[in-house]
């Protein structure tokens, strides 16, 4: 459904920014006592953190080192 290995996410700053925004939004939701939304955004932040920083493969690794 979501392709987190898309070349759009190759720059590190985009991956960090998206993950940070998700965790900050989760903290905001917890602060405003919206527990369910906080859990959902926290889970999305965890999923992005795992996908972007543990299992991420940039363009060189995806394409086998071939330039397009």
What is the DSSP secondary-structure string of 35-48?
A: HHHHHHHHHHHHHH
Please report whether residue 39 resides in a domain.
yes
User: Distance between CA 36 and CA 50 in Å, rounded?
Assistant: 21
Per-residue pLDDT tens, the chain, 68 aa: give them.
677 878 888 899 999 999 999 999 999 999 999 999 999 999 999 999 998 888 777 656 656 555 55
- 52 Ramachandran zone, left/alpha/beta (phi>0; psi -120 to 50): alpha
Q: How many domains does the chain have?
A: 1
Please report whether residue 45 resides in a domain.
yes
Residues 4/5/10/11 CA torsion (nearest 10 deg): 20
Distant-in-sequence, close-in-space partners of 67: CB < 8 Å, separation ≥ 6: none
Model pTM above 0.75: yes
Please report whether residue 4 resides in a domain.
no
Domain that holds residue 45: 11-56
């Amino acid at each position: 459904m979501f392709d987190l290995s898309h070349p759009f996410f190759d720059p590190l700053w985009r991956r960090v920014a998206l993950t940070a925004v998700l965790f900050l939004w989760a903290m905001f939701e917890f602060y405003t006592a919206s527990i369910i939304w906080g859990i959902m955004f926290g889970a999305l932040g965890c999923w992005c953190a795992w996908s972007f920083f543990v299992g991420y493969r940039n363009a060189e690794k995806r394409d086998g080192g071939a330039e397009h």
